[in-house]
Structure 1
């Protein structure tokens, strides 16, 4: 009987010691997500500068590669101005280098944009060009419509003649313009 009690006591002692012994944390056996891999030292590792000026996120429209419609891209500018929009339209190849904003004003949902130049090809490209300008300005400045002027005169090209009462409106089906 003493042997049985001794074995039981030994077993209980071993169980209690095993429960109190610190254990090593289990090692992760599943591979880490590829997106959580080691740092590359790129921009994603940087902490934003709390003293940096905030950027405005904008939509910029440009002609697609096969010139059947527009592409929309998200970009950023320091401040939402007509000059910043024109600069982005130049960067995306909609307007030619050196194009200047002569005047921009808006009231009651209607904007008036007077540019120093708008490229003219006399083909369907003209429709894409003014649709890209119109969509970019209308969306970012939250306009209902936009009056486009070139050197103070109504926009006109070989295929498009705008009169005093003609305005650009947002093209909803911008991916395919006919």
Structure 2
């Protein structure tokens, strides 16, 4: 009995990632030179907000009105840098956090951003700023979302790579979100 249980667990452990990986699609952005893999049953959304190019991903849902949707997003904006080390100084990071909390678009739509944690880290081979925040949206029945964001600077651009959703959404989709995040890479 125990041997069968271990065999089944081993099968699930090794076959599930292979099955999941087989259903992945590659998205490549030729303008900003990045790519990532995502589940083929997710939808890519692209739009521009002021000077920011946004590429978003969300799972297709049969009944989107009855469920919140976790999103994976890459926001890109021109951000010329003279000294990369200066970007990661405590003064610059604190300013970035303050700007994130006081984003004019968020204020325009009455969204409150509460930063829970932030620190300088690495995402793959790039130095990054990690931000974890709670997003309060009073106009959506006081909905509370969690956002995890990595800010990377590459080739005179700033890339904000984030996933956002309710805590349950993120917990239920953590493995998928991390797989998408880990597949992100620059093509130039």
Structure with the larger strand share: 2
Structure with the larger helix share: 2
Structure number with greater Rg is 1
